[in-house]
């Protein structure tokens, strides 16, 4: 356990970094989180939080709050995108916690509120790290700097911390984009159609995942995976259009057509990934989440893996104390690598729950119930 003087800096207050900060603070560590964005905006996107993550949210006391603002589907339906035939009806209950679908911005706000006041610093874009061997100098683009005993890189797919460890390397463009749109449920009332709580529509080479993002079910959300030859834009996403959606899903089921007709704004995101990294930590620097194992988002478990990483890293640091961070980092990688790599590969293959299958290995997982494997046992 920390002696109260050792400091941990987390770079990035995304879905993994914010939870890592809150979990470590609950465990008594001295934490500061540095985020490049000047503030968070309510980006138009939804996210699934499975029972495996809600068990972690219990530890920072936010599970009930998340459930209170989420839609809580009883099933994940998979349907043929053209005929509507069901290929799977997978129960989401019975895994020891609730399955939530929620607005990503609302979730992020709850996570950030779980941090101790004054420990989340916006407008701090990491420029450079210098691990002196005795501590780490962290320099930000605004010209300020801080020192920490260890640094957690939770800075996403284009992680500067990853670059410090492994050199500059662009992520791989997967050849797919994801369209994202939020639709007011009022717009759907005119259709004599049933809009299910959580359904994935599958085509031969594309899909559309659809769910509610609020407890009131007044906001419906879709996110697609559609082949797109190359990502020719500089930004993280670009605007798409109803026409582009109509062309991408021509001939698909009437429910999909209704969703496209009801779309006001839709954005288009390139989907990137990386091959598994040769190392997750070096010296006083350690990675988590997309900085470490980004994936195509088709299992809805990318953020979940970042949050599981945060929980396991906290567990390992509690086990060893910060002064023994090298052992903690080794334990962390030993206890995370196989699961994160498995989820990464199933997610990239986009096969999860297409057919009836048991998802207990994902949703039934309780990171606190797993015995810690030692490095040599791996």
Which residues are catalytic, by number? Answer: 48, 211
Longest alpha-carbon distance in the chain: 66
Q: Which span (77-85, 120-128, 227-235, 334-342) binds ligand FAD, by CB under 6 A?
A: 120-128
160 lines the binding site for ligand FAD (CB under 6 A): yes
Strand order in the sheet with 145-148: 126-131, 136-140, 145-148
Query: For residues 75 and 92, is the Cβ–Cβ distance under 8 A?
Result: yes
Comparing CB distances to ligand FAD, the nearer of 253 and 274 is: 274
34 lines the binding site for ligand FAD (CB under 6 A): yes
Q: What's the closest the beta carbon of residue 269 comes to ligand FAD, in angstroms? A: 5
Residues 268-327 that bind ligand FAD (CB under 6 A): 269, 271, 289-291, 297, 300-304, 306
Q: Which long-range contacts (CB under 8 A, 24 or more apart) does 321-329 make?
A: 321/1, 321/2, 322/2, 322/6, 322/8, 322/29, 322/149, 322/150, 323/3, 323/6, 325/149, 325/150, 325/284, 325/286, 327/375, 329/280, 329/281, 329/286
Q: Which of 125, 187, 242, 282 binds ligand FAD (CB under 6 A)?
A: 125
Comparing CB distances to ligand FAD, the nearer of 13 and 256 is: 13
Binding residues for ligand FAD, total number by CB under 6 A: 35
Comparing CB distances to ligand FAD, the nearer of 88 and 288 is: 288
Interface mask toward ligand FAD for 243-272; x: CB under 6 A: --------------------------x-x-
Q: Which of 51, 81, 178, 330 binds ligand FAD (CB under 6 A)?
A: 178
Q: What's the closest the beta carbon of residue 180 comes to ligand FAD, in angstroms? A: 6
Q: Which of 284, 330, 280, 322 is nearest to 305 (CA)?
A: 280
Comparing CB distances to ligand FAD, the nearer of 14 and 73 is: 14
Comparing CB distances to ligand FAD, the nearer of 179 and 284 is: 179
SS3 279: coil
Q: Which of 13, 4, 9, 16 is nearest to 307 (CA)?
A: 16
Q: What is the DSSP string of 184-242?
A: EGGGGTTSSS---SEEEEE-SS-EEEEEE-STT--EEEEEEEEE-S----SSS-EE--H
353 lines the binding site for ligand FAD (CB under 6 A): no
Q: Which of 32, 36, 281, 314 binds ligand FAD (CB under 6 A)?
A: 36
- For residue 146, the cross-strand partners are 138
C-alpha 330/C-alpha 334 separation (Å) is 6
C-alpha 29/C-alpha 319 separation (Å) is 13
126 lines the binding site for ligand FAD (CB under 6 A): yes
Q: What's the closest the beta carbon of residue 1 comes to ligand FAD, in angstroms? A: 25
C-alpha 128/C-alpha 136 separation (Å) is 10
- For residue 225, the cross-strand partners are 207
Comparing CB distances to ligand FAD, the nearer of 300 and 316 is: 300
Q: Which of 9, 15, 66, 266 binds ligand FAD (CB under 6 A)?
A: 15
Comparing CB distances to ligand FAD, the nearer of 16 and 330 is: 16
153 lines the binding site for ligand FAD (CB under 6 A): no
Q: Which of 31, 102, 154, 311 binds ligand FAD (CB under 6 A)?
A: 154
C-alpha 206/C-alpha 78 separation (Å) is 13
Q: What's the closest the beta carbon of residue 296 comes to ligand FAD, in angstroms? A: 8
Q: Which span (28-36, 63-71, 130-138, 361-369) binds ligand FAD, by CB under 6 A?
A: 28-36
219 lines the binding site for ligand FAD (CB under 6 A): no
Helix, strand, coil share of the chain (percent; to 5): 30, 25, 40
Question: Which residues make up the interface to ligand FAD (CB under 6 A)?
Answer: 11-17, 34-37, 47-48, 124-126, 154-156, 160, 178, 180, 223, 269, 271, 289-291, 297, 300-304, 306
């Amino acid at each position: 356990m920390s002696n109260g003087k050792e400091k941990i800096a987390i770079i990035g207050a995304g879905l993994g970094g914010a939870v890592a900060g809150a979990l470590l603070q609950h465990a008594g560590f001295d934490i500061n989180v540095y985020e490049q964005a000047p503030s968070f905006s309510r980006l138009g996107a939804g996210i699934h939080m499975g029972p495996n993550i809600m068990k972690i949210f219990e530890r920072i006391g936010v599970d009930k709050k998340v459930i209170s603002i989420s839609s809580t589907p009883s099933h994940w339906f998979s349907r043929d995108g053209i005929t509507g035939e069901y290929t799977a009806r997978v129960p989401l209950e019975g895994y020891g916690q609730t399955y939530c679908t929620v607005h990503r911005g609302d979730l992020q706000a709850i996570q950030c509120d779980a941090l101790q006041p004054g420990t989340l610093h916006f407008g701090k874009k990491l420029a450079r790290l210098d691990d002196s061997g005795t501590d780490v100098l962290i320099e930000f683009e605004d010209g300020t700097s801080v020192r920490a005993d260890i640094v957690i890189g939770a800075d996403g797919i284009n992680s500067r911390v990853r670059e410090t460890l492994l050199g500059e390397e662009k992520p791989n463009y997967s050849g797919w984009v994801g369209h994202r749109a939020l639709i007011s449920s009022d717009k759907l009332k005119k259709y004599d159609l049933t809009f299910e709580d959580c359904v994935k529509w599958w085509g031969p080479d594309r899909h559309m995942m659809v769910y509610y993002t609020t407890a009131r079910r007044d906001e419906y959300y879709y996110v697609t995976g559609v082949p797109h030859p190359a990502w020719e834009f500089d930004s993280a996403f670009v605007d798409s259009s109803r026409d582009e959606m109509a062309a991408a899903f021509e001939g698909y089921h009437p429910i999909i057509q209704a969703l496209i007709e009801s779309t006001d704004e839709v954005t288009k995101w390139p989907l990137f990934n990386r091959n598994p990294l040769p190392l997750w930590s070096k010296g006083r620097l350690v990675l988590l989440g997309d900085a470490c194992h980004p994936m195509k988002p088709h299992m809805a478990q990318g953020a979940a893996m970042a949050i599981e990483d945060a929980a396991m890293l906290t567990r390992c640091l509690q086990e060893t104390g910060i002064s023994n961070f090298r052992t903690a980092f080794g334990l962390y990688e030993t206890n995370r690598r196989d699961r994160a790599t498995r989820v990464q590969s199933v997610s990239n293959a986009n096969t999860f729950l297409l057919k009836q299958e048991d998802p207990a290995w994902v949703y039934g997982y309780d990171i606190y119930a797993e015995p810690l494997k030692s490095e040599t046992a791996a």
